[in-house]
Structure 1
Amino acid sequence: MDAETGSISGGCPFSGNGGTRSLLGRTNRDWWPDALQLDILTQDGKSANPLDEDFNYAEAFNTVDYNALKADIKALMTDDQEWWPADYGHYGPFFIRMAWHAAGTYRTGDGRGGASSGQQRFAPLNSWPDNGNLDKARRLLWPIKQKYGKNISWADLFVLTGNVAIESMGGPVFGFGGGREDVFEPETVYWGTEEQWVDQGVETRIIPDEGKALDNPLAAIQMGLIYVNPEGPGGNPHDAEGMARDMRETFSRMAMNDEETVALTAGGHAFGKCHGAVPADQLSGAPEGEALALQGFGWATDADQIRDGHITTSGIEGAWTPNPTQWGGDYFRLLFKYEYELTESPAGAKQWTPINPDPEDMAPDARDPSKKVPTIMTTADMALKRDPEYRKISERFRDDQAALDDAFARAWFKLTHRDMGPKARYQGPEVPAEDLIWQDPVPEGSVPSDSDVSSFKSKVMDSGLSVSELVKAAWASASTYRNSDHRGGANGARVRLAPQKDWAANDPQELSKVLSKLDELRGGISMADAIVLAGAAAIEKAAKDGGHSVSVNVSTGRGDATDEQTDAESFEPLEPFADGFRNYLKTKASVKTEDMMVDKAHLLGLSIPEMTALVGGMRALGAVSKHAKHGNSIGVLTDRPGTLSNDFFVNLLDMGTKWDVVDESGDEEFVGKDRKTGEERWTATRTDLVFGSNSQLRAISEVFAENGGEEKFLKTFVSAWTKVMDAGRF
């Protein structure tokens, strides 16, 4: 944990602390209303990406002279720049922080954040208080990025530079995988609803005494932080229990256990220092709101202040060890050797200083090595000594340097690669040979012959399994995919393993019956392929029953994962709390159900027409959850369920139907009655009616419902279905 910044978990990924919230929270326009707005230029499907549409980052990365690139980065570490001098004459600690903060936004709740798209270049991340002065780190890297051009993405460069920085100071590195893709505009991510940043005194997001939990899918403890407030919960350095609680909660939501948390904290703090040399009000503002002449720089911008080292980021001032540019065991040695007293930095931040330190345990001044200054610990560091569980791990690492070396190297690799997805996506000569459980390994599959596929699909359609059952099973398997961190999907057939086989959204009893029959029929075809192929066969039959011929050309060659290859606990965040495509809602949430449907569509990489077609098609196919109050009928809006048709749109837009809320549903369920007779015709949910009430969705629904629109609907549905089935097929 980089302290330049700094069970309640689980449950609904959209639950809050009361009231209905937006999935967007505070946006860049809220924070910087006067900033140049470019959104209008990306309307109508226009891309902000300047590279060719078929440009492949992985292929480009593999053309790089990797050793030369690393050599250039290593040389940069000690190439001291007058405009931003290196602490201790070495930029290594600075670049480690840059890489950490690029990767450390990752959270397990929705897989968003992380280093894989180079988002640190854009607001709000480029202007978070926690990312103070990292604008200079990125600018130091520009000559290297310029030299290697599009063959190295910013996203890869951030992480690789962090690795080289560790290596250049004698630290352990487990490996590196390249191939990350840059984006060229801010991504839409829910970062929270607070109206203030952490440095403006906003309180922590966890207050147990008031029943206040950390809002899922958030992971950081305060707005504008990567992890926790290093001064303590809400800035309280005396709340030792709360400090450990906050660390444990936020790190677990970023996929780290206690050992990894301790290793990362100690390993990261083996290097560099915190900055709190002057009160923050003496500095300029964050980059996004600063003057044009500063050219994207913010915070410390005055040349005299920079020269004199009058820099403030976290507000805490000092190094953790007497050797800030050398890997070793000094961090734990000092943590346990001394008693610490609470002091204040020149910037007024709370920090801990060793009592009566020996001269050899003093740190060099960052700009004048002839001077010695006391080392420091943050309240977050003190938690590794105060908390019983953290202390056990810390003492073990103190006494076993090799164990710390290995744990840190592995945890750093996980931190910087967790959002890349399967190992098959990793590129380059330093990809570790070892398969790691958090990479969700899947054995290599084999591609079945066309005749085997045809024979299997015929057997499936003669098996007695219904179209609805087969489509639901395929959707349950494939729709877990998240394009945020490339987890989930049909590859591996984990829908047949715990915990997915027991998820309520998957109708476990029905799913078990379907999977058992497919296993009996599949022959040499993998279960992962069999589930997807069976769904394709069902859709082809459903279209034929409606008088249309379609081919659902899903890919094959998937492998089947085992229980031993599956970290069941890590899959819990993928469980659907709501799935508008299946009309499933576990319970009413603080976010509108239709918002959750849009969020899921975004994670599946769907366009608005694709989302619309999939919802309408799955309703027509009867592929809705049995957990809906009205059984399998709610939202179907067709008299011929199991036939692939545009009936959902035709009947939803029928002006002969009047819709009323079902009172006891809490505005979640509705009944459609004949305007003339009052006879009940249909039932529906919010995720059904939104396609008639929202003007943009209604416009698309009208295209699918109008005369001649069925062909367009079928084409869009099949294309979108195939996209979901093949998502995650690496």
Structure 2
Amino acid sequence: MDAKTGEMGGCPMGHGDGGVRALLGRTNRDWWPEMLATEILNPNGATNPYGEEFNYAEAFNALDYDALKADLKALMTDSQPWWPADYGHYGPFFIRMAWHAAGTYRTADGRGGANSGQQRFAPLDSWPDNGNLDKARRLLWPIKQKYGKNISWADLFILAGNVAIEDMGGPVFGFGGGRADVFEPERDIYWGSEDKWVNQGVQTRIAPEHGMHELEGPLAAIQMGLIYVNPEGPGGNPDPLLSARDMKATFERMAMNHEETVALTAGGHTFGKAHGNGDPSTLGHAPAGSDLVAQGFGWVSGEEHGGIGEHTVTSGIEGSWVNTPTQWSENYFRLLLDYEYELVKSPAGAQQWQPINQREEDMAPAAWDPNKKVPTMMTTADMALKVDPEFRVISEKFRNDHEAFKDAFARAWFKLTHRDMGPKARYLGPEVPAEDLIWQDPVPAGTMPSDAEVAAVKAKIADSGLTVSQLIKTAWASASTYRKSDHRGGANGARVALEPQRNWEVNEPDMLAKVIDTLNGLRGNMSLADAIVLGGVVGLEKAGAAGVPFTGGRGDATQDQTDAESFAVMEPEADAFRNYVGKKKLAVKTEEMMLDRASLLGLSVPEMVVLIGGLRVLGANHGERGHGHFTNRSGQLTNDFFVNLLDMTNVWKSVEGSDDQEYVATDRAEGKERWRATRADLIFGSNSELRAICEVYAEKGGQERFVTDFVKAWTKVMNADRFDLPQNKQSNTPVGVAEPALAE
């Protein structure tokens, strides 16, 4: 972060530094200083009222799914006086709620999305772009109360959106349950460093004169407090071409191509209306800053009529996009493309576009008087689909082929609302589509090898001439791609042998190819994915560990089942576990990147410490780099890293010209060089919390505990993506909390 400007630089795709940047960005307490500090009661991580033994998958499978959907359908037209439904139908409201629950997902670090129901908590519950969605969630409360633990809020948000689309005649591709709730904000997500929301004059995160590469990684939204883009245009500038640029940037970072972007925008705006028929200056605080008597409601209007119904102000834009706002239709593209538009202002002062000389039959019914006709409107973001040449071609295609539009919208909506759930093996319920989609990272079912097969392949690997270092590096390269944020990556599928992973610099492509070729020649009927993990077991046992667990059954993906572009954003720019730093200068410190990588792996602090200490002595450093290899027994699983790091006879100094990236230790008495290290090594002796754990492994008797703890943490990483294993079923463990895996 620049001390003068407050701006943060860095890789445009972020590559998983969202957790690190969360430490540098603004917190809930920055926005709402009076917020109750409940985290003081959770020093060891989030708690869950259902208890540690609760299994959400089991609870969901016991759900009366048809009854739940029937209740949701009935709710769509059960208008409540405290928040009446536009046109007598809540469907568009619930579509927006589901969309915004899912739409925070970003590909760079897999964070955000609907997977844990974060829309219930600050800051998301109080983002300007989520205005009045607190009412949608309260409308769902009687249904959540009725079905209790059998349906999570996270699943209910998305299912309500699906039922809304169905009830208005729209296309739905399917639904998969399995999103387990958390019960506090996920604090490892960086939402941005700005100190103003989108409606307070903050500019777009892309400078007008520059391209979309300037959007700070890992962010996806264009302005603070937005899900996607400012509907009035970048920074409020009603320029459709600049809006198109912003849309392309942000939707790409949320895993959508340009055709999916057009389909989602048009399909979503086929329903409902925007709200700006009132005075926005009378609105009260967002939910996180509202009064006690509001009971969690936000944006309470001070106008005499209460600011509800006809007088609601949300975005400030007023009107519906089409003349049939509660029915799926072909009208969006017809109205967008057939009419010329002029820039006008809503009653709330927002800039929007109105058709010129609109025919009465193309006007929309007034939301509160079906006998009254009012003009439709388009936002600047909608006009982008008409004005931008690439978007225009797609819009014309969908206008001329409605079936193609229906299919594209249904698939894009399914992707939007399921992208962060991970592999299809995690999906629950009767409406899971049979089709495998490439963005689900499909892996063919594996076969469980027999004990005899495992023993035979182990013996062959042990006699193959592959070194401990090679076996450990390859297994780690395969499994450590896993990230708990969106459950992508991991050893299952053996994608480390496919593009793009096989050519990532951090994976040492030449060495990796040699190991993969050797394992392919030895594995027989065993999957390559299993053989890679089994090779790690052989490496550990050669290094002195005994009885390292191995559970087979992984499958092997093909290149055709692998979206190389989607995986490319997961390439590490730094990996402290392998003491690797790429050529690009990082905006954050390597030890901070280390914490983020450990967080995405679901590791606790002790697990991170023990893994790095073990990987160092096993020779897992990138490119045979000797830094942090504090041992004279290379390839043996010893506690030497900790013992020698904490040796008080060392004197450490920065290597001149290394910009504090390389250090040398000399003997205090004789001045002879002993060791070389990086920041990702010395932080374990410098930071008091990390040092405290290192001391446990360095003290007398620490060797045995170290080996036991290393094997447990290693096995956890190797099996992190095995959703078929009991310990990885959808449990009650919050997404942001690492389960302990060390010795009792």
- Residue 655 (structure 2) aligns with: 662
Q: What residue identity is the alignment partner of 1:673?
A: T
In 1, Cα distance between the equivalents of 2:46 and 2:17?
A: 33
Q: 2:577 aligns to what SS in structure 1?
A: coil
| Structure 1 residues 70 and 12: CA distance shift in structure 2, 3 A | closer
Correspondence list, 1:17-416, <5 A: 23-43=23-43, 45=44, 47-188=46-187, 189-207=189-207, 209=209, 213-238=214-239, 240-301=240-301, 304-307=305-308, 309-416=310-417
Q: What residue identity is the alignment partner of 2:447?
A: S
In 2, Cα distance between the equivalents of 1:641 and 1:74?
A: 65
**Cα deviations by residue, 1:516-539 (Å, 9 ceiling, x for unpaired):** 111111111100000001001111
Q: 2:419 aligns to what SS in structure 1?
A: helix
**Cα deviations by residue, 1:635-678 (Å, 9 ceiling, x for unpaired):** 11111111101111111111111111123221111111112222
**Cα deviations by residue, 1:406-453 (Å, 9 ceiling, x for unpaired):** 000000000000011111111111010111111111000001111211
Q: 1:665 aligns to what SS in structure 2?
A: coil
Conserved 8 A contact 1:478-1:489: yes
Q: 1:369 aligns to what SS in structure 2?
A: strand
Conserved 8 A contact 1:614-1:720: yes
Q: 1:659 aligns to what SS in structure 2?
A: strand
Shift of 1:361: 1.0
Q: 1:205 aligns to what SS in structure 2?
A: coil
Q: 1:270 aligns to what SS in structure 2?
A: coil
In 1, Cα distance between the equivalents of 2:421 and 2:488?
A: 9
In 2, Cα distance between the equivalents of 1:688 and 1:355?
A: 66
In 2, Cα distance between the equivalents of 1:489 and 1:119?
A: 25
Q: 1:370 aligns to what SS in structure 2?
A: strand
Shift of 1:12: 4.9
Shift of 1:59: 1.3
| Structure 1 residues 113 and 662: CA distance shift in structure 2, 3 A | same
| Structure 1 residues 14 and 727: CA distance shift in structure 2, 3 A | closer
- Residue 509 (structure 1) aligns with: 510
Moved more, 25-34 or 491-500: 25-34
- Residue 641 (structure 2) aligns with: 648
Q: What residue identity is the alignment partner of 2:596?
A: D
Shift of 1:9: 8.6
Q: What residue identity is the alignment partner of 1:465?
A: L
**Which of residues 577, 595, 600 is equivalent to 2:597?**
600
In 2, Cα distance between the equivalents of 1:593 and 1:22?
A: 15
Conserved 8 A contact 2:317-2:346: yes
| Structure 1 residues 307 and 187: CA distance shift in structure 2, 3 A | closer
Shift of 1:233: 1.1
Conserved 8 A contact 2:22-2:191: no
Conserved 8 A contact 2:13-2:216: no
Shift of 1:632: 2.1
* TM-score, normalised by the number of residues in structure 2: 0.93
Q: What residue identity is the alignment partner of 1:107?
A: R
Q: 1:48 aligns to what SS in structure 2?
A: coil
- Residue 4 (structure 1) aligns with: none
- Residue 720 (structure 2) aligns with: 727
Shift of 1:714: 1.4
Shift of 1:280: 2.0
Shift of 1:279: 3.2
Conserved 8 A contact 2:16-2:109: no
Conserved 8 A contact 1:284-1:301: yes
Q: What residue identity is the alignment partner of 2:604?
A: S
**Cα deviations by residue, 1:669-700 (Å, 9 ceiling, x for unpaired):** 11111122221111111111111111111111
Identity of aligned residues (%): 68
Q: What residue identity is the alignment partner of 1:657?
A: N
Q: What residue identity is the alignment partner of 1:282?
A: T
Shift of 1:708: 1.0
Conserved 8 A contact 2:14-2:216: no
Q: What residue identity is the alignment partner of 1:711?
A: E
| Structure 1 residues 458 and 485: CA distance shift in structure 2, 3 A | same
**Which of residues 613, 617, 620 is equivalent to 2:617?**
620
- Residue 686 (structure 1) aligns with: 679
In 1, Cα distance between the equivalents of 2:378 and 2:409?
A: 19
Q: What residue identity is the alignment partner of 1:598?
A: L
Mapped pair 1:439 → 2:435? no
In 2, Cα distance between the equivalents of 1:668 and 1:259?
A: 44
Q: 1:372 aligns to what SS in structure 2?
A: strand
Mapped pair 1:563 → 2:559? yes
Q: What residue identity is the alignment partner of 2:67?
A: A
Shift of 1:300: 3.1
Mapped pair 1:700 → 2:693? yes
Conserved 8 A contact 1:659-1:673: yes
In 2, Cα distance between the equivalents of 1:308 and 1:514?
A: 66
Shift of 1:307: 4.3
In 1, Cα distance between the equivalents of 2:12 and 2:504?
A: 14
Shift of 1:278: 2.1
Q: 1:305 aligns to what SS in structure 2?
A: coil
Q: What residue identity is the alignment partner of 1:619?
A: R
Q: What residue identity is the alignment partner of 1:606?
A: L
| Structure 1 residues 201 and 479: CA distance shift in structure 2, 3 A | same
In 2, Cα distance between the equivalents of 1:294 and 1:428?
A: 36
In 2, Cα distance between the equivalents of 1:677 and 1:371?
A: 93
Conserved 8 A contact 1:12-1:577: no
| Structure 1 residues 14 and 600: CA distance shift in structure 2, 3 A | closer
In 2, Cα distance between the equivalents of 1:118 and 1:39?
A: 18
**Cα deviations by residue, 1:150-183 (Å, 9 ceiling, x for unpaired):** 0000010000000000000000000000111000
**Which of residues 13, 38, 63 is equivalent to 2:15?**
13
Conserved 8 A contact 1:9-1:214: no
| Structure 1 residues 278 and 437: CA distance shift in structure 2, 3 A | same
Q: What residue identity is the alignment partner of 1:607?
A: S
- Residue 423 (structure 1) aligns with: 424
Correspondence list, 1:443-458, <5 A: 443-458=444-459
- Residue 553 (structure 1) aligns with: 549
- Unmatched 5+ residue regions in structure 1? 1-7, 544-548
Shift of 1:21: 5.9
Q: 1:304 aligns to what SS in structure 2?
A: coil
- Residue 572 (structure 2) aligns with: 576
| Structure 1 residues 143 and 22: CA distance shift in structure 2, 3 A | closer
Moved more, 100-109 or 660-669: 660-669
Q: What residue identity is the alignment partner of 1:616?
A: G
In 2, Cα distance between the equivalents of 1:184 and 1:24?
A: 23
Shift of 1:402: 0.7
How large is the Cα RMSD of the aligned pairs? 1.6
**Cα deviations by residue, 1:54-112 (Å, 9 ceiling, x for unpaired):** 21111111111111100000000000100000011100000000000000000000000
- Residue 498 (structure 1) aligns with: 499
- Residue 736 (structure 2) aligns with: none
| Structure 1 residues 21 and 439: CA distance shift in structure 2, 3 A | closer
* TM-score, normalised by the number of residues in structure 1: 0.95
Moved more, 487-496 or 360-369: 360-369
- Unmatched 5+ residue regions in structure 2? 1-9, 724-744
Conserved 8 A contact 1:14-1:591: no
Moved more, 677-686 or 601-610: 677-686
Conserved 8 A contact 2:16-2:597: no
Q: What residue identity is the alignment partner of 2:607?
A: E
Provide the aligned length of Structure 1 versus Structure 2.
Answer: 709
| Structure 1 residues 535 and 344: CA distance shift in structure 2, 3 A | same
In 2, Cα distance between the equivalents of 1:215 and 1:12?
A: 7
Q: What residue identity is the alignment partner of 2:15?
A: P
